Structure 1
Amino acid sequence: MSASPVPAGALADSALRVTAKEVVSEGVVALTLRHPDNRRLPDWAPGAHIDLMLPSGATRQYSLCGDRWDAYSFRVGVLREPDGRGGSAFIHNSLAVGDMVGVGGPRNNFPLAPAPKYLFIAGGIGITPLIPMIAQAELMGIDWQLLYGGRTRSSMAFLDELAAYGDRVVVAPQDECGLLDLQTWLTAAAATETKVYVCGPEPLLNAVEMCCVDWPIGKLRMERFVPKEQGAPVRDEPFDVELARSGLTVTVTPDASVLDAVQSAGVNVLSSCGEGTCGTCETAVLSGAPDHRDSILEDDERSAGDCMFICVSRACSDRLVLDL
């Protein structure tokens, strides 16, 4: 499975206090969160994210970009999105130091796998999950490089922090350098045992995928902010889902998700994004063939067919048996 379940001691739906709010670039603020009783927070690894459950009722996922060895605080970076659904606007305009905010997780759909060398490619706010990865590689003495692009230098967050790494960080604002020279960087990485980690807007991810179409599975890992465009479902007729632990069988109609059907039957499943990007609703598949429609799993994980994200994924077979 790609997504990690909520670990023992995870926050689930606890509340943390905003202890710092700092402007880290044009349009990006960094929040530091701590437990109101200064309790230790759950451990996490590079690539993990948390859910912020805002007073407005919105839930949003943000990558942890602080020091993973600081057991008492979480840090996230939040981009103001003018065309978003209001979560980032609330954080930028209304959320203040001292406020409490609901937090779920941490969860990790984007883990850092062992490698002799890494190439990190970030676009804009996509730098956030890569910062702890860079720190981890540095701690372990592993060779790495970062190619970091953005619209303008002033819009690119955490540049002061990254400057400490010297020339291993290549900063390439589009208004100064044009589009990132992905072909050159990725061709060099293809010739070695380098693993490539990419996070950023969809045009960047699509461009990287086009350059790496023949790469072996596992060499390239990407994290998306928005769902990848999917084709039509494999089947457009109802299918049955057996809930092995609950002893129930539900029918999923074409106009409902597996998550909808399961929750309507009274079985509670933690969910968040509803679009197959956050990993919260990951569920083990005991039997049947899922129709994966998420933006998380790699090709080999899809082929294994032993888990699915029930907010969006459906069935190829007439029946699925889930570990619920």
Structure 2
Amino acid sequence: MKARTLRKAVVVAGAAYVVRNAMRLRVRRSPLWPMPALEEPTSGRPRARALNLLVTRHEQIADGVVQLRLEGRDLPTWRPGAHLDLVLPSGLVRQYSLCGDPEDTSSYTVATRLIAADEGGRGGSREVHEQVREGTEVEVRGPRNRFPLDAEAPAYVFVAGGIGVTPILPMLREAAARGADWKLLYGGRSRASMPFVEDVAKLADEAAGRVTVVAEDEDGRPDLAAALADTVPGTAVYCCGPEGLMAAVEAVLPEHCTLHSERFAPRNSAEGNGPFEVELRRSGKIVDVPADTTVLAAVRSEMPAIPYSCEQGFCGTCQQRVVEGEIEHRDELLTDAERADSMLICVSRARGERLVLDL
């Protein structure tokens, strides 16, 4: 009887969870590449198993952009919007959207733009460009999907900026294959810097009037308001690209549309954050964490060698055990069990004024 009562309680709690998430705002954001709670809960899922894949193709497909083909056998299938964690030879972990064929179980395809240090690059993209070569074996985790295509939407508008086209491209193919009502606005600094222009052009040939390509050095800034005009109620707008592009799309989004966006970096905002202190129990040190600083950054001031990698709450490298204090989890990785007594210090924070870490 007790087991039956427990199962009933679990079912009721699960239903309440779905209802709460179904009532979210019309703007849905993903920090990466990048899994809405209705399809795949942020927590409570087992970690993705690691795969060792062989790089069989490393080619430049646009100015500053390289594409990798990673081959294996019986690879997990994925849906448009999914991404991989790529463990680089140095140990750095980076996330890249899958942009190949979801039905291909023999390989994964990803692409990355070289991000210079003065643009916020932290070395991962440079390692992919300069050190990962054909014949290199790399570890990947996933796929995971925090940016899935809504199969129930009556129409779609896709807005991609530069390398942001990578998760959008498989969505376009699926929408076209389904005969859905869709259109694309693809912008970039120049045509030479825009990856997959040929693929987009092929779609444009097959679907006249649905595709607009805007190179800023030739045509100026894209007309976002025009792209979102004449949309039907319930239109799903998918946007991936620079922060400025996504902010501009939000600013002109019609009330009857739902925005799904994916970022390749966390928002640089301390809005809603409060300061708190962190005690490092084993060292006896106490560090202050201002509203505009992460726990990781604050702890590194005392412990420069502390491990970390993605700084976005994806890879798990900076996971630390919490001895005391209430955690505000902001990661995209930990299971519910792990969240009970640990946190990713690159993104998560204290819900109160103090945390104690087992450091």
| Larger gyration radius, structure 1 or structure 2 | 2
Instruction: Identify if the C-alpha distance between structure 1 residues 6 and 234 changes in structure 2 by more than 3 Å, giving closer, same or farther.
Output: closer
Give 2:193's aligned residue: 155
User: With structure 1 as the length reference, what TM-score do the two structures score?
Assistant: 0.74
Give 2:157's aligned residue: 119
Equivalent position amino acid for 1:33 in 2? L
- Distance in 2 between residues matched to 1:142 and 1:280, nearest whole Å: 38
Q: Is this contact kept in 2: 1:148–1:172, CA < 8 A?
A: yes
- Distance in 2 between residues matched to 1:11 and 1:235, nearest whole Å: 33
CA deviation profile, 1:239-260 (whole Å, cap 9, x unmatched) = 99xxxxxxxxxxx9754749x9
Q: Is this contact kept in 2: 1:230–1:293, CA < 8 A?
A: no
Instruction: Identify if the C-alpha distance between structure 1 residues 134 and 128 changes in structure 2 by more than 3 Å, giving closer, same or farther.
Output: same
Which runs of structure 2 are paired with 1:222-241 in the superposition (5 Å)? 222-231=261-270, 234-237=273-276
Instruction: Identify if the C-alpha distance between structure 1 residues 279 and 110 changes in structure 2 by more than 3 Å, giving closer, same or farther.
Output: farther
Aligned residue among 208, 212, 225 for 1:170: 212
Aligned residue among 241, 255, 277 for 1:215: 255
- Distance in 2 between residues matched to 1:8 and 1:43, nearest whole Å: 17
CA deviation profile, 1:185-239 (whole Å, cap 9, x unmatched) = 22333x5331100000111111112223x736x7101001121122255443459
Which runs of structure 2 are paired with 1:238-249 in the superposition (5 Å)? none
Aligned residue among 91, 95, 107 for 2:132: 95
What fraction of aligned residue pairs are identical, expressed as a percent? 43
- Distance in 2 between residues matched to 1:53 and 1:279, nearest whole Å: 9
- Distance in 1 between residues matched to 2:349 and 2:43, nearest whole Å: 23
1:206 aligns with 2:247: yes
Equivalent position amino acid for 2:184 in 1? L
Aligned residue among 173, 188, 213 for 2:230: 188
Give 2:76's aligned residue: 42
Secondary structure at 1:106 match in 2: strand
Instruction: Identify if the C-alpha distance between structure 1 residues 280 and 171 changes in structure 2 by more than 3 Å, giving closer, same or farther.
Output: farther
The worse-fitting range, judged by mean Cα deviation, of 120-129 and 81-90 is 81-90
User: With structure 2 as the length reference, what TM-score do the two structures score?
Assistant: 0.67
- Distance in 2 between residues matched to 1:221 and 1:290, nearest whole Å: 27
- The number of equivalent residue pairs is 279
Aligned residue among 31, 39, 52 for 1:15: 52
Aligned residue among 210, 214, 221 for 1:179: 221
Structure 2 residues not aligned, in runs of 5+: 1-34, 280-285, 300-307, 320-324, 333-341
CA positional deviation for 1:110: 0.8
- Distance in 2 between residues matched to 1:91 and 1:313, nearest whole Å: 28
- Distance in 1 between residues matched to 2:179 and 2:198, nearest whole Å: 22
Give 1:138's aligned residue: 176
Instruction: Identify if the C-alpha distance between structure 1 residues 113 and 106 changes in structure 2 by more than 3 Å, giving closer, same or farther.
Output: same
CA deviation profile, 1:170-193 (whole Å, cap 9, x unmatched) = 11100111101011222333x533
- Distance in 2 between residues matched to 1:113 and 1:238, nearest whole Å: 41
Secondary structure at 2:85 match in 1: strand
Q: Is this contact kept in 1: 2:184–2:211, CA < 8 A?
A: yes
Secondary structure at 1:130 match in 2: helix
Give 1:106's aligned residue: 143
The worse-fitting range, judged by mean Cα deviation, of 230-239 and 162-171 is 230-239
Equivalent position amino acid for 1:55 in 2? P
- Distance in 1 between residues matched to 2:43 and 2:350, nearest whole Å: 25
CA positional deviation for 1:12: 2.7
1:30 aligns with 2:67: yes
- Distance in 2 between residues matched to 1:153 and 1:12, nearest whole Å: 38
Instruction: Identify if the C-alpha distance between structure 1 residues 9 and 232 changes in structure 2 by more than 3 Å, giving closer, same or farther.
Output: closer
Structure 1 residues not aligned, in runs of 5+: 241-251, 262-270, 283-287, 297-307
RMSD over aligned Cα atoms = 3.7
- Distance in 1 between residues matched to 2:287 and 2:51, nearest whole Å: 34
